[in-house]
């Protein structure tokens, strides 16, 4: 069933609830697809639909719904249904849901759960948003190194229905400290009487629950893991982060980096989100950067205003300010993003060899770009405005220097950002442009004075 | 052993090869870490080190080395060692290596391989770079639906050593068409005499080998898969793409998108790469965009030049052109990246409801930003240049309109890009800036004429 058909079917059931029919549809579809088809369904209809399903199906579907819909449903569904739901949800989604509840509703929810689940929610939700703890699931399987393979597999079979994954298994000591890992692959391939101890890999990669999420994703990606164990401050294992969550974390991190590069980097707290960030914060973060850029602009415009004498002699010079200083920012934007890209892929790092390598690569390209664009601009300026040769020379030379300089400076800025200990994308495109504007007007009027200055002297004499 | 210690150990072995010692080190370390530590080792030393290892260890380590090092080693290692290596390498890395060889070396390599591997390489490497075929591995496990669980597990045990993963298993018919999938989890949990057929999930998600890589990664991420089956044009299954490769593909795609947003989008072929793209292509792609921006700039500057009369009356107007028109680009860059971010996370799509939602969110913020920045600019202009109230009014009002308009236009451009069927990041930051430059000069001089134009009339009279 394709997307269209699924949406149609869902809409039909929303209007005319049919237990058999809907349960069959849910069984036959992937929860991600169903959740997408249900995006536009009202909370009331959604509530009625969910109550048509058995508790496990309901919990599986619920975990995939949009957060805003989950929150609405928690308020609408009958209390017992909410408790069943929360009990059966994956532990990490459950902790997320709990964290989104307001302070009044939380004790209510905890009251309806077993001691085990209650403690689990409290442990996981104690970690701040954006930390590894907030994406950790405690539904992992621990095995005993003294067991045989056959015993371990029997143990796994009983735990499988409530486990996030059984492909990575963990060997813990009495204090729940991580001793090593075993893969299901190794267990299945080994002889039944082999001991788990003979298959355990010691010194496993692990992360701390308090670390930023991105580090869990980084390690999973680097070591091709299916899951990474999460330890608390006392080195006890509290859960795992699975590879599917790691993919989502990476996607978010990269999307956030793009927005930061657009000029919306935040000092602390969550990155700006067009969908969810309150107006106030959206304004305050963005106005900060625009104000910084405004200050840059004032310096630039003050300098230009001081060139009044020169400008009044050759008004046409004013026309070229923007295109020329902009080209520095354009070329700089190109080279900066190419460097940031390579840094993100782990190909460039903060060391002199790499800085020199980048300069070596960018210099010839920036020079060639400068010459080409300068010629283009000069030709176009001639045809469109019929300016004199001296002005053409000023325009051409400025364009050449601005373009080439822009490319090189743009390529170096990401290294500067890393040196300052910040994500390279924080030196955003608008910032690069503003810096090059300032450099550009100095270059432009420098050439203008050098080549046209004598005209003024002559006029004044 | 941490990174420092590993590099030190590796350097020691490179100078004084020691079979036992190096083999132990390799056994105790993760190939990713070893490969990183070996990055600066010369090809000759690396070759000697590899020959200290047994063929399987050698192949595992080799597959993790940087591509440039792999290529150098293929030329340096003894022929038989190369054949052993290639035979044991994972099928997707092998096809990649083959594709990087020049046309003369390829027949040589094929000659030393078995028929099975030869055909495998040729099949996988037939697909273009950037297609799913190029990251497909043929090392998957197929099971027969008529088998019992016990029989299937025995079958899996024999194939495991040479399989990329045994967690996802595939049921094929006689023409190798995909009937369904089974997970190892389901097999391990089921009773030994249950049939595979009772556990098979029909209608599995699959991809075509000719599709772009990004689609395999997208599906793996969307459905939380560990691997996705790859079919050829005749619907026969040729291999799988595993989740670890999907994470790397996603990382590349996102990094490429950032570079495109910086103004380096390509029409076809691979995205620009600061490390590897030849100078010629680096120049031609970038000069294309810079030329487009130059043309935009000429239109803008021609318009400004035509305002000669007004400018000669109020030279100070020239000083504010750049800061004001830039602010439109800055605000537009912020809103555009926020929208692109939400699109990348699947929260916004190409439909009117979302467009209206974005406008509704952006309009108040852009208006508030416009008022604030306009006031800031006016105050700074007053203090730095002591301009008259009328000029302040022109500057303030233009700043307000440019900022607000920039925010709204920037937020809409990604939708326009999607409507045109292209990645939103193609409407790059420099392009947004140039568009807003043009809009900005119209707004600025519009206000200038409206509020100062009477001065000219007076002067002329």
Contact A301 B295 (CB under 8 A): no
Closest CA to B271 of A428, A342, A367: A342
Contact A221 B244 (CB under 8 A): yes
Facing residue for A221 by CB, picked from B251, B326, B429: B251
B39 near A CB under 8 A: no
Residue B124 main-chain phi, psi, to 5 deg: -70, -35
Contact A259 B297 (CB under 8 A): no
A455 and A419 inside one domain: yes
A141 near B CB under 8 A: no
**Burial class of B357 by CB neighbour count within 10 A (0 to 12, 13 to 18, 19+):** middle
Pairing of strands A237-242, A227-231: antiparallel
> What average pLDDT does the segment A63-67 reach?
87
Provide the token pair at B69. Answer: 């090092």
Are A349 and A343 within 8 A, CB to CB? yes
The SS3 call for residue A52 is coil
Mutate to test the interface with B, among A190, A192, A288, A290 (most CBs of B within 10 A): A290
A241 and A179 inside one domain: yes
How many angstroms away from the CA of A247 is the closest CA of chain B? Answer: 6
Q: What span, in angstroms and rounded, lies between the C-alpha atoms of B314 and B321?
A: 12
B375 near A CB under 8 A: no
Are A246 and B247 within 8 A, CB to CB? yes
Contact A294 B361 (CB under 8 A): no
Among residues B126, B154, B187, the one where a domain terminates is B126
Provide the token pair at B123. Answer: 């099949």
A215 and A337 inside one domain: no
B294 and B401 inside one domain: yes
Residues of B in contact with A385 (CB under 8 A): 301-302, 305
Are B276 and A290 within 8 A, CB to CB? no
B356 near A CB under 8 A: no
Q: B 13-32 residues with CB below 8 A of A?
A: 30, 32
Q: 3-state DSSP helix/strand/coil percent for chain B, to nearest 5?
A: 70, 10, 25
Closest CA to B89 of B57, B123, B53: B57
Mutate to test the interface with A, among B319, B344, B377 (most CBs of A within 10 A): B319
Are A437 and A301 within 8 A, CB to CB? no
Q: What is the ipTM of this complex?
A: 0.84
Residues of B in contact with A333 (CB under 8 A): 262-263, 428-430
How many angstroms away from the CA of B376 is the closest CA of chain A? Answer: 8
B147 and B187 inside one domain: yes
**Residue A261 in domain:** no
Among residues B101, B126, B151, the one where a domain terminates is B126
A308 near B CB under 8 A: yes
Q: What span, in angstroms and rounded, lies between the C-alpha atoms of A32 and B225?
A: 12
> Mean of the per-residue pLDDT values for chain A?
89
Instruction: Provide the pLDDT for residue B30.
Output: 87
- CATH number for position A382: 1.10.357.20
Integer CA distances (angstroms), A460 to A309, A450, A455, B199, B311, in order:
10, 16, 9, 95, 21
Integer CA distances (angstroms), A419 to A93, A363, A422, A434, B64, in order:
37, 22, 7, 21, 29
B173 near A CB under 8 A: no
Instruction: Provide the pLDDT for residue B456.
Output: 63
> For residue range B305-320, what is the model confidence (pLDDT) as tens digits?
888 888 877 888 888 8
| Residue B319 structural domain | 279-460
Q: How far is CA A131 from the centre of its chain?
A: 14
Q: Predicted confidence band at A461 (pLDDT cuts at 50, 70, 90)?
A: very low
Q: Vertex B369, ends B367 and B372: CA angle to 5°?
A: 110
| Locus of tokens 């692109």 | B340
A323 and A407 inside one domain: yes
> For residue range A12-61, what is the model confidence (pLDDT) as tens digits?
888 887 888 888 888 888 888 888 888 878 888 899 999 989 898 899 89
**Residue A354 in domain:** yes
Contact A226 B243 (CB under 8 A): yes
Residues of A in contact with B329 (CB under 8 A): 430, 433
pLDDT at A127 over 90: no
More confident call, A315 vs A78 = A78
Are A337 and A261 within 8 A, CB to CB? yes
A121 and A166 inside one domain: no
> What average pLDDT does the segment A176-195 reach?
93
Q: What span, in angstroms and rounded, lies between the C-alpha atoms of B132 and B230?
A: 8
A51 and A80 inside one domain: yes
A90 near B CB under 8 A: no
Instruction: Provide the pLDDT for residue B164.
Output: 87
Q: What span, in angstroms and rounded, lies between the C-alpha atoms of A454 and A456?
A: 5
Contact B273 A341 (CB under 8 A): yes
The SS3 call for residue B461 is coil
Residues of B in contact with A340 (CB under 8 A): 255, 258-259, 262
Instruction: Provide the pLDDT for residue A162.
Output: 84
pLDDT at A385 over 80: no
**Residue B135 in domain:** no
**Residue A304 in domain:** yes
Instruction: Provide the pLDDT for residue A456.
Output: 63
pLDDT digit string (tens) for chain B, length 461 residues: 777 788 888 888 888 878 888 888 888 888 888 888 888 788 888 999 999 898 988 998 999 988 888 888 998 999 889 999 988 888 888 888 888 888 888 888 888 888 888 888 888 888 887 899 988 999 999 998 899 999 999 999 999 888 889 999 999 998 999 999 999 999 999 988 999 999 999 889 999 999 999 999 999 999 999 999 999 999 999 999 999 999 999 999 999 999 999 999 988 778 898 888 889 999 999 999 999 999 988 898 888 888 888 887 788 888 888 888 889 999 999 999 999 999 988 888 888 889 999 999 999 999 999 999 999 999 988 887 778 888 899 999 999 999 999 999 999 999 999 999 888 988 888 999 999 999 999 999 999 999 887 766 544 44
Task: Count CB pairs under 8 A between chains A and B.
Answer: 393
Are A372 and A401 within 8 A, CB to CB? no
A143 near B CB under 8 A: no
Contact A251 B254 (CB under 8 A): yes
Instruction: Provide the pLDDT for residue B211.
Output: 94
Closest CA to A448 of A458, A459, A456, A460: A456
> For residue range A244-255, what is the model confidence (pLDDT) as tens digits?
999 999 999 999
How many angstroms away from the CA of A377 is the closest CA of chain B? Answer: 7
**Residue B132 in domain:** no
A203 and A67 inside one domain: no
Q: Predicted confidence band at A126 (pLDDT cuts at 50, 70, 90)?
A: confident
Provide the token pair at B443. Answer: 């707004």
Contact A341 B437 (CB under 8 A): no
Residues of B in contact with A381 (CB under 8 A): 298, 301
B207 near A CB under 8 A: no
Closest CA to B201 of B221, B185, B217: B185
- How many domains does chain A contain in total? 3
**Maximum pairwise Cα distance, chain B:** 105
A97 and A146 inside one domain: no
Strand order in the sheet with B201-202: B141-143, B168-172, B178-183, B201-202
**Residue B267 in domain:** no
**Burial class of B393 by CB neighbour count within 10 A (0 to 12, 13 to 18, 19+):** middle
Contact A319 B330 (CB under 8 A): no
**Residue A10 in domain:** yes
How many angstroms away from the CA of A374 is the closest CA of chain B? Answer: 9
**Residue B383 in domain:** yes
A298 and A238 inside one domain: no
Contact B295 A380 (CB under 8 A): yes
- CATH number for position B31: 1.25.60.10
Contact B322 A325 (CB under 8 A): yes
Among residues A72, A93, A126, the one where a domain terminates is A126
Facing residue for B329 by CB, picked from A337, A347, A430: A430
- CATH number for position B193: 3.10.580.10
Residues of B in contact with A185 (CB under 8 A): 160, 165-167, 184
Return the H-helix or E-strand segment holding A228: strand A227-231
B47 near A CB under 8 A: no
Closest CA to A23 of A51, A65, A3, A42: A51
Facing residue for B330 by CB, picked from A243, A298, A430: A430
Q: What span, in angstroms and rounded, lies between the C-alpha atoms of B438 and B304?
A: 10
Within 10 A of B295 (CB to CB), how many other CB atoms are there? 15
Q: What span, in angstroms and rounded, lies between the C-alpha atoms of B24 and B244?
A: 26
B400 and B450 inside one domain: yes
Q: What span, in angstroms and rounded, lies between the C-alpha atoms of B201 and A14?
A: 27
B4 near A CB under 8 A: no
Instruction: Provide the pLDDT for residue B198.
Output: 93
Q: B 416-435 residues with CB below 8 A of A?
A: 425, 428-430, 433-434
Closest CA to A401 of A330, A332, A304, A328: A328
The SS3 call for residue B358 is helix
For residue A212, the 8-state DSSP code is B
């Amino acid at each position: 069933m394709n997307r269209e058909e699924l949406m149609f079917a869902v809409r039909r059931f929303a209007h005319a609830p049919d237990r058999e029919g809907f349960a069959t549809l849910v069984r036959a579809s992937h929860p991600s697809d169903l959740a997408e088809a249900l995006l536009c369904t009202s909370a009331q209809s959604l509530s009625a639909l969910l109550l048509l399903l058995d508790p496990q199906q309901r919990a599986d579907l619920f975990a995939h719904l949009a957060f805003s819909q989950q929150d609405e449903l928690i308020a609408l569904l009958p209390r017992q249904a909410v408790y069943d739901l929360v009990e059966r949800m994956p532990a990490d989604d459950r902790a997320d849901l709990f964290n989104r509840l307001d302070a009044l509703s939380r004790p209510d929810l905890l009251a309806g759960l077993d001691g085990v689940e209650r403690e689990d929610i409290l442990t996981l939700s104690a970690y701040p948003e954006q930390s590894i703890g907030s994406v950790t699931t405690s539904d992992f399987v621990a095995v005993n190194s003294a067991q045989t393979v056959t015993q371990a597999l029997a143990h796994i079979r009983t735990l499988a229905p409530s486990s996030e994954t059984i492909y990575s298994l963990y060997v813990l000591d009495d204090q729940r400290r991580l001793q090593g890992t075993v893969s299901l692959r190794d267990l299945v391939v080994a002889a039944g009487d082999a001991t788990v101890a003979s298959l355990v890999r010691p010194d496993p990669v692990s992360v701390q629950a308090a670390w930023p999420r991105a580090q869990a994703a980084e390690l999973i990606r680097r070591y091709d893991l299916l899951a990474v164990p999460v330890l608390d401050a006392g080195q006890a294992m509290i859960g795992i982060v699975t590879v599917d969550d790691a993919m989502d974390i990476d996607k978010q991190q990269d999307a956030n980096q793009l927005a930061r590069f657009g000029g919306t980097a935040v000092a602390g707290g969550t990155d700006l989100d067009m969908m969810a960030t309150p107006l106030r914060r959206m304004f305050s973060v963005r106005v900060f950067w625009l104000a910084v850029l405004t200050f840059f602009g004032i310096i630039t415009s003050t300098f230009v205003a001081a060139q009044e004498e020169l400008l009044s002699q050759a008004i046409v010079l004013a026309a070229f300010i923007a295109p020329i200083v902009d080209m520095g920012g354009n070329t700089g934007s190109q080279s900066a993003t190419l460097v940031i890209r390579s840094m993100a892929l782990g190909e460039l790092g903060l060391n002199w060899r790499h800085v020199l390598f980048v300069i070596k690569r960018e210099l010839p390209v920036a020079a060639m770009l400068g010459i080409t664009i300068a010629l283009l601009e000069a030709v176009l300026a001639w045809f469109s405005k019929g300016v004199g040769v001296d002005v053409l020379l000023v325009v051409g030379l400025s364009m050449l220097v601005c373009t080439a300089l822009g490319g090189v400076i743009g390529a170096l800025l990401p290294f500067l950002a890393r040196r300052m200990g910040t994500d390279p994308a924080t030196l955003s495109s608008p910032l690069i442009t503003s810096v090059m504007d300032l450099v550009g007007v100095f270059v432009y009027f420098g050439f203008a004075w050098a080549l046209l200055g004598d005209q003024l002297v002559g006029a004044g004499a």
